[in-house]
Amino acid sequence: MQMGERPDYFFANDDERLSALIDGELTPAEADALGQRLVFEPALARRLTALRVAGDRLRQVYGPVADEPLPDALIALLGADARRDEARREPAEPRVVPLRRIAALRQSWLPTSIAAGVALAIGLMLGVSLGPSGRFDAAPLLAQDASIGPDDALFEVLETLPSGQSAALAGGVSATPRLTFRTGAGAYCRELSLTSSDRWAALVGCRDEAAWRLEALIQGPGSAGPGGNDAFLPASGPVTALDPIVDALMTDVPLGAEAERDAMAAGWR
C-alpha cells in the first residue's frame, strides 16, 4: 500500500474521503477519523457501500474483457512470436483490493472506537447502572475488553438463539440475532440487533475461544412503533450501517438455518 505517499489534500466533501478510503489512499490519521464517524453515522456508512459497489460493479463487468482472445489483426501486427505468447498468456490479474483495504482499516480503528466508549453507550442504552467511573462498569453486558463472555447478559443470546428469533432481556430490551457468518480465518460471527422503548443498537461479535469479541457496535435513539421490533429500526438503519464491517469480515455468504444450528450444536468451533 502507498499510505503516506500522497501529498496533503483538502477534501471538498465526504464522497472524496470515502472514495479515498475505498482505494486505501487515506493517511492513517484521516482513516482513523473517518472510521470513527462511520461507526456513528449510518448515512455515511450507506454512502460508503454505494460508492464501493459502483467501483466493484465496474470491475466485475469490465474485468472479463481482459480475458477475451485478442483480435487476429493485432496478433498479426505483433508477429508470430506474439501468437505463441498469446497462447501462453496468464489470465488477467484479479483485483480484490478494496475489501482487503477496508479490512485493514477496520483493524486500525475499531479497537480505538470501542475503547473510547461504545461499551458505555450500550450500557446506557440498556439502562445498566454505571459505577462512579461511568465507563467500563456495564459489566452485565460487556466485559472490559469489549468482548461478551459467559457472565454477560448477551452471551446466552449469541450462543443459543437462532437468527431471526428474539429474546427479552432485563430493562425491556429485546435482542435479535440477525445473521451468522464465518470469517476467512474460520471464526463464527453474528450480527445482533437490540431494541428498547427508546433506543436501538446493532453489533457484530465474533466467537473466539470462550467469548464473543465485539467487532463493531452502532446505536441511536428511536421510539417503538406498533409493529414490533423491526418497526422502529430505521428503514436502513443499524444493520445497513454495519454492512461495511460485515463485508470486510465475511468471506462467503451468511449461514443458513441448518448450518447455523450445526455450528451452535458444535459450540461454535
Partner 1 sequence: MLAGLPRLRRFARSLSGNADDADDLMQATAERVLTSGVPEDVDVLRWMFKVCRNLYIDQLRALDVRRRAAERPELAEGLVLSGEDVAIGELSLREVDREMAKLSEEQRAVITLIAVEGLTYREAAKVLDVPIGTIMSRLARARAALASSTVNADG
Binding site for partner 1 (CB under 8 A): 2, 5-7, 9-13, 15-16, 18-20, 22-23, 25, 50-51, 53-59, 61-68, 70-71, 73-74, 77-78, 82, 85-86, 89-90, 92-93, 95, 97
Minimum CB–partner distance for residue 17 and partner 1 (Å):
8
Least distance (Å) between residue 249 CB and partner 1: 22
Task: Pick the closer one to partner 1 by CB: 85 or 262.
Answer: 85
What CA–CA distance (Å, rounded) separates 42 from 35? 12
> Helix H segments across 203-251?
238-241, 243-249
Helix (H, G, I), strand (E, B) or coil at 54: helix
Nearer to partner 1, 10 or 269 (CB): 10
Q: Which is nearer to partner 1, 57 or 261 (CB)?
A: 57
Element (H, E) at 35: helix 28-40
Give the shortest CB-254-to-partner 1 separation in angstroms: 20
Q: Strand, coil or helix: what is 222?
A: coil
- Shortest spacing between CB 90 and partner 1, in angstroms: 8
Between residues 71 and 226, which has the closer beta carbon with respect to partner 1?
71
Q: Could you tell me the smallest distance in angstroms from the CB atom of residue 35 to partner 1?
A: 18
Contacts of 149 (CB under 8 A, 6+ apart): 143, 155, 210, 211, 212
Say how far apart CA 151 and CA 9 lie, in whole Å: 48
Which strand (E) or helix (H) includes residue 86? helix 80-88
Report whether 24 contacts 104 (CB < 8 A): yes
Contact present, 229 and 174 (Cβ < 8 Å): yes
- C-alpha 196/C-alpha 166 separation (Å) is 12
Alpha-helical (H) ranges within 169-242 are 238-241
Q: Could you tell me how far CA 194 lies from the centroid of its own chain?
A: 17
CA–CA gap between residue 152 and residue 158 (Å, rounded): 10
| Least distance in angstroms from the C-beta of 250 to partner 1 | 21
Cβ proximity to partner 1: between 12 and 185 the closer is 12
- Closest to partner 1 by CB, 55 vs 150, is 55
Residue 49 CB, nearest distance to partner 1 (Å)? 9
For the CB of residue 93, give the shortest distance to partner 1 in the complex, in Å: 8
Smaller CB separation from partner 1, 43 or 97: 97
Complex with partner 1: residue 15 or 151, whichever CB lies closer: 15
CA–CA separation, 113 and 264 (whole Å): 29
